[in-house]
Structure 1
């Protein structure tokens, strides 16, 4: 009764609640003059500059009340040596420890006092130290962030306590079969650099010393290997802060060796009934023209459900597996790009008794695409989905910061979302088929986890 009563009240609403306008809303009103303040609040383009010591600065003033800054460093796990395996994981955990001029307690309280937060993530290529706060306190946050990156203390008792957190994080992460499979996949595919894992191996837990951590930071945390990115920060303000924090720093750091893709297989038999398996070839590196074709191919094959708890029947890979096995199984395309290499292939999840059928069907479908057996409408759908994902992914400050920093750090330039969409539109069916041919003819790598009694070996695919 309450709802119906509301409906009657709304039905008798005053006509003054409605208006009719004959001028298209997409056109500016000619009789209204824009104020000078409104002109100043227009979003600006990404501005990239470089200090004399080699530090690259990228800033975007979008007039957001919240500012986000990040320091990207070419010091990911691929830079670890044989005696330093897992040290980037330790640095990630030790990021909130004492730095020169500020104890761990003072650091945490000071960041909380300005309404900020700190987040440290790492990939095989980079370490990212990022934080956000209200834009009035951005200088304070940059000062704390700079001290964490440039002058960490690594006190012995704090490093010892980090070892316990290392073990806990590793155990939690490795409970997820996806993480185990992807870590083993990289170890099987590469002979050096990219074979290093993101999580500290068992035999290195508790082995890191303060001297090791200092040497790694001194060797790789150089301004020539860094990019400072600010979103919601005026370029002049960010440049001034960078000059104060990094102006006296020098060094170009040590470049990582070129990744050597070799191909291989890693099997992790256990009691889990669901078999997780990944079959890949060497893909494209970041920034090369072929990388976009691989990304479109990934969307065409399928990247999972687009709606929460929804199906993925728009995926050609899912449809092919369902047709071959007469049952719906989870499968998606896998694509990872690094600064000098990449991996592309398929990732399947299936019961152990159906693993062979599902994996063979997935690999066979990509080979059929390599023969040109793919509809034009599927190509267009994949391009549209990729364009939508690219634009929607830039709606959050965190995603925008990571995208800007990753591009500038690897390529030295930034491609805007609008330009990226135009490049996506230029991808043709021939480009997608060519990428699929690289998978069909390339040397394969495979990793599998679960009850593997019915899982084929790599040479049987």
Structure 2
């Protein structure tokens, strides 16, 4: 994957009135009365403009820049009307320790609260006025914390300072922190109610027992004593330096995004980067089980795979495509009916509900495996069938490899049509490796994989 060239963005002192004049027309303190739509009777085949402008078609391209404080900015303008903005921070549950377990989840719960500029009420009302209160989210992962917003593209200058305010000057008022403690139980209940998410959480705990990515990104009730402003602020000071942040925008002009990111930091002292010791992920393996509300047995069988950026990522992803997946209720074209898991596991037993292969990559490790759902008393048989299908990956025919390459490349291109997926992909890649590979770049890597590469990678995994 080629290394992108980051255009430098210097901090500048600007006239406040000149900056304010560039903001879109918006009244923070007024909720306008709805007005009748004068074009309600107009159909889409008629232009409502007297002098319609000619469209200017430009191919979307990824652009990159870097602020003077080290923060990276990346964007792709696809010409859409809704801008997707994401602020990604290289901080998550793997950076927690015994003194602050659950703090990354607490940070996400305190998002879009009071800052040095706006109270929590004013922040929420501003998001509502902009029409993005439902799209403003913050999610803590194992290696990153992501603040995301979807808003009309003309309001991007108003949203970027709101995003930056979360990480630059949150007030962390004691009563707001206390009120957020209720969300800990809610988040844990939601996790336990979602069998898929719970299996993934247990899988990581078993694979990396008590280390690195084995720490859950969802806080438990045992973490409540750590839920204090001091604990959260200490975590921010240790990990929320601009050098560990990436601001990503889709359907925005790159120059505008970089300019407003610079303005959001220009007059403030950002958190200085501290040297931190990152414990290497140690794969331990193991087995974890728990009772759940689902009437079916949900299980996952996995093994350690390659980290992001290693040469065997492409062969592993192709092996995942070859295994594929399927479910007993759908045999429509495109649902994976020709994949190995569907033909060798799902179709072979009426007790198997669904089965799918997965591969998760982190900065220094990864997990490759299969997730399945079956009747509880037949879980052992399904597990044996899954293991047998995985051991058969050492033998892949030329036609099977050709078909897997076509399917994988098609899936890559289709996924990048989704603005949210594209934003997440850019943020994750830049955080983990400082590089960004487009679908076209990955298509070239996929085409270069041979049958020998697949066999060698499968033997290494198994």
Is 2:95 the partner of 1:71? no
* 1:318/1:329 contact within 8 Å kept: no
Q: Which moved more, 1:160-169 or 1:264-273?
A: 264-273
- Gapped runs of 5+ residues in structure 1? 1-35, 441-461
| 1:120 counterpart (106, 125, 138) | 138
Residue 386 of structure 2 is matched in structure 1 by 362
Q: Give the whole-Å Cα distance in 2 for the aligned partners of 1:314 and 1:110.
A: 50
SS in 2 for 1:174: helix
Q: What do the CA deviations read for 1:369-400 (whole angstroms, capped 9, x no partner)?
A: 22x1x333332222222112111111121111
Residue 425 of structure 1 is matched in structure 2 by 447
CA change 1:104–1:250 in 2 (3 A) is closer
SS in 1 for 2:217: coil
**How far did residue 206 of structure 1 move?**
5.3
| 1:252 counterpart (273, 292, 295) | 273
Normalization by structure 2: what TM-score?
Answer: 0.81
Is 2:321 the partner of 1:299? yes
Residue 296 of structure 2 is matched in structure 1 by 274
Q: Larger radius of gyration, structure 1 or 2?
A: 1
Q: Which moved more, 1:68-77 or 1:322-331?
A: 322-331
* 1:280/1:439 contact within 8 Å kept: no
Count of residues in correspondence between the two structures: 403
**How far did residue 362 of structure 1 move?**
0.8
Q: What do the CA deviations read for 1:399-426 (whole angstroms, capped 9, x no partner)?
A: 1111111111112121111222222222
Q: Which moved more, 1:264-273 or 1:132-141?
A: 264-273
Is 2:308 the partner of 1:286? yes
Q: How does 1:368-379 map to 2 (within 5 A)?
A: 368-370=392-394, 372=395, 374-379=396-401
Q: What do the CA deviations read for 1:273-298 (whole angstroms, capped 9, x no partner)?
A: 42222111111111212112111111
Is 2:223 the partner of 1:204? yes
**How far did residue 361 of structure 1 move?**
1.2
Q: How does 1:83-102 map to 2 (within 5 A)?
A: 83-102=99-118
Q: Which moved more, 1:284-293 or 1:264-273?
A: 264-273
CA change 1:304–1:150 in 2 (3 A) is farther
- Gapped runs of 5+ residues in structure 2? 1-52
Q: Which moved more, 1:414-423 or 1:70-79?
A: 414-423
* 1:285/1:338 contact within 8 Å kept: yes
Q: Which moved more, 1:154-163 or 1:307-316?
A: 307-316
Residue 175 of structure 2 is matched in structure 1 by 157
* 1:189/1:195 contact within 8 Å kept: yes
SS in 2 for 1:353: helix
* 1:123/1:198 contact within 8 Å kept: yes
Q: How does 1:432-447 map to 2 (within 5 A)?
A: 432-440=454-462
Is 2:131 the partner of 1:131? no
SS in 2 for 1:314: coil
Residue 408 of structure 2 is matched in structure 1 by 386
Normalization by structure 1: what TM-score?
Answer: 0.82
